[in-house]
Amino acid sequence: MTQAVNQPKSEPKRESLLLNLLLNIVIPTVILTKFSGPEALGTQWGIVVALAFPIIYGLNDFRRSGKVNLFSALGVLSIFLTGGISLLELDPKYIAIKEAGIPALFGLATVISLKTRFPLVKTFLYNDKILQVDKVAEALKRKGNESAFDGALVNASYLIAMSFFLSSVLNYALAKYLLVSPPGTEEFNAELGKMTALSFPVIAVPATLVMMGALFYLFSRIKHLTQLELDDILIQQ
């Protein structure tokens, strides 16, 4: 009788940053700015085709992972709302409100979650995909620094919330500044495309820098409170 051979588990395929940028930013921007005129797709079909790329990307991410990612789900919802507001030719101010509302909700949820047993900081930064949390918890208990670390998690949560609130303000300002033409026009589509293109350098980069600041702060506190080197507690990829 042949013995079963244990096959090593294949790691989930890593997300391609280039593909992410192409489908979520570059291709929609090009379609909205260059192919929304009457001689090409037209204003309505330009919006439909441009927004189809990030929607399909988000749905495929769900199919590939097999579970609902809250951020991906809200991203797809946000794109649907943008398309709906544009196709219904509603006032562009609703897009600005929507752009500000979603990150603001994340910021509020991060702060409110501190009052629960499941603070979101453990989802964003302090989780077993990044750190050996059991090893950290054991070292904190041994050193008697559990309360001090809880305070560090609270501070990191406020920094995370700040990154979301910053994103909310920048989202709103960018939408109000760029979306000045009536929906249903080629000019509006071009402005929507420009907003999509600028969302990464104007919004994502500053918010990411704040988030990275929270990460470095938390890592420095862990190192100080546990007396462990980061190489000893980081998950080795």
Cβ atoms of residues 213 and 158 within 8 Å: no
Query: What is the rounded average pLDDT for all residues in the chain?
Result: 80
Q: How far apart are CA 9 and CA 137, in angstroms?
A: 28
DSSP letter (8 states) at residue 185: S
Please tell me the predicted confidence (pLDDT) of residue 16: 61
Q: Is the pLDDT of residue 155 over 80?
A: yes
What average pLDDT does this structure show over 115-134? 80
Q: How far apart are CA 167 and CA 173, in angstroms?
A: 10
Q: How far apart are CA 182 and CA 187, in angstroms?
A: 8
Please tell me the predicted confidence (pLDDT) of residue 215: 87
Contacts of 134 (CB under 8 A, 6+ apart): 128
Q: Is the pLDDT of residue 4 over 50?
A: no
Contacts of 13 (CB under 8 A, 6+ apart): 64
What average pLDDT does this structure show over 222-227? 87
User: What share of the chain has pLDDT > 90, as a percent?
Assistant: 8
What is the number of other CB atoms lying within 10 angstroms of the CB of residue 12? 9
Task: Map out the domains of the chain as residue ranges.
Answer: 17-233
Cβ atoms of residues 166 and 207 within 8 Å: yes
Chain segment 61-84, per-residue pLDDT in tens: 767 766 655 666 777 778 778 888
- Residue 37 sits at φ, ψ, to 5 deg, of -80, 170
What is the number of other CB atoms lying within 10 angstroms of the CB of residue 214? 21
Please tell me the predicted confidence (pLDDT) of residue 71: 64
Q: How far apart are CA 183 and CA 93, in angstroms?
A: 11
Q: How far apart are CA 214 and CA 48, in angstroms?
A: 37
Identify the bridge partners of residue 234 per DSSP, sorted by sequence position. 131
Chain segment 15-50, per-residue pLDDT in tens: 565 776 676 667 777 777 777 777 777 777 878 887
Say which residue, 9 or 226, is predicted with more confidence. Answer: 226
Task: Give the pTM.
Answer: 0.76
CA distances from 8 to 1, 11, 38, 130, 229 (A): 22, 9, 55, 21, 29
Contacts of 91 (CB under 8 A, 6+ apart): none
CA–centroid distance for 83 within its chain: 19
